[in-house]
Structure 1
Amino acid sequence: MNGRNNRYQKDYQNQNRTQESNRQQKSKNQEDPIIIEVKENITKILSKEIDRDGKILIENAMKLGEYLKDKGMTTSQIRNLYNEAKAIDYNKENGPYNVSLLRAKFAYNAGKYKDKVKGFQIIADKALANVDSADKFERFLDFFEAVVAYHRAYGGKE
């Protein structure tokens, strides 16, 4: 009888460990509300027709800049990615290809810096997936530049 109770106790402990592990994994996979909000606004941010005055672009850049500062991302990390993006000329033959490749560079940085860059990578990936014209790429660069500026303005470290 004692061996049987022991086995049930071990099964119960394993079940509790599994449930706790699942809870932790679920909380890791949940996106921050700021990331969700900015991600939902990406199509508006990239559209000159919808966001003529840039108000949506700026509001979201402010939120994301502060979020990245709070996550500990440095201005240099953001600026390095920005410089990669800015070097692309969308109007050249390989421009759209280079924009697609930029998605991989963001993913690499998200893997390298984990929590610091992951939210930014999610947003950048969604934005870059929606870039299908030089105008949208220009808006992406404007948004990116504004994020760098607000990150620094909110006290982001160099």
Structure 2
Amino acid sequence: MTQYQRPGQGGYQGNRGAQQQGRAAAVDASRFASAAEKIIVRGEVEALISLAEELAKNSGATRTSVRRLYGEARRIDFLLDQDRARALRRARLLEPRLVYQTKRAQREKQNLGEIASALIAMIRQLKHDDPHEEEQRFRRFVEFFEAVVAYLPEEKKDE
């Protein structure tokens, strides 16, 4: 055991403790569970448009701030036709990536919280026993994400 380790704890300790938060502390996806069910499971277009517009208008995020995440969702969408299992695995891994980006954005004084919460609620609705249904749900997720990005301003307006 090195001088930096405590008994029962291995590895570097610098990133643990008060700064380390669970998923729930970073985003609250439960607020959007009902909307996610309507949009992802039932495919309700009006609910998709309404929520996307509301999020873009009230979030304070910019198109630039979510572009990289949207790009990953599009790449996964293209991969669905080639390797469904791999694509759906990457889709599920978008959740931790969103949590990370949200925490990072908070440190940079940007606000992705509302959008990330909604997207995570949508991702949680993707899982299904039938891979074809899961694929359809992911495509609805991409449609929702695209609508959010479309409504977001390119950059923040000076107030």
Q: What TM-score, normalized to structure 1?
A: 0.65
The one-letter amino acid paired with 1:126 is A
The one-letter amino acid paired with 2:156 is K
> Aligned residue for 1:124?
119
> Aligned residue for 2:64?
76
Q: Which has the larger radius of gyration?
A: 1
Whether 1:105 aligns to 2:97 is: yes
In structure 2, the residue corresponding to 1:131 is in which secondary structure?
Answer: coil
The one-letter amino acid paired with 1:135 is Q
Whether 1:85 aligns to 2:73 is: yes
CA distance in 2, matches of 1:98, 1:40: 24
Residues 22-54 of structure 1, C-alpha deviations (whole Å, 9 max, x = no match): xxxxxxx7x99xx93x4421110113x452xx1
Q: 1:74 Cα shift? A: 1.9
Give every structure 1 segment of 4 or more consecutive aligned residues whose post-TM-superposition deviation is greater than 6 Å.
none
Aligned residue-pair number:
118
User: How large is the RMSD of aligned CA atoms in angstroms?
Assistant: 2.5
Q: 1:1-158, aligned counterparts within 5 Å?
A: 36=31, 38-47=32-41, 49=42, 51=44, 54-68=45-59, 71=60, 73-88=61-76, 89-91=79-81, 92=83, 93-114=85-106, 116-132=111-127, 133-152=134-153, 156-157=155-156
CA distance in 2, matches of 1:74, 1:56: 22
CA distance in 2, matches of 1:94, 1:50: 23
Distance 1:112 1:80, change over 3 A: same
Which runs of 5 or more structure 2 residues have no equivalent in the other structure? Answer: 1-24, 128-133
Bigger shift: residues 124-133 or 113-122 = 113-122
CA distance in 2, matches of 1:61, 1:136: 17
Distance 1:63 1:39, change over 3 A: farther
Which runs of 5 or more structure 1 residues have no equivalent in the other structure? Answer: 1-28
Residues 38-77 of structure 1, C-alpha deviations (whole Å, 9 max, x = no match): 4421110113x452xx111111111011122xx2x22111
Distance 1:151 1:94, change over 3 A: same
Check conservation: 2:52, 2:147, Cα contact below 8 A.
Answer: yes
Higher helix share: 1
The one-letter amino acid paired with 2:124 is A
CA distance in 2, matches of 1:90, 1:65: 27
Check conservation: 1:90, 1:137, Cα contact below 8 A.
Answer: no
Q: 1:137 Cα shift? A: 0.5
Q: 1:156 Cα shift? A: 4.7
CA distance in 2, matches of 1:56, 1:156: 26
CA distance in 2, matches of 1:105, 1:118: 13
* Identity over aligned pairs, percent: 25
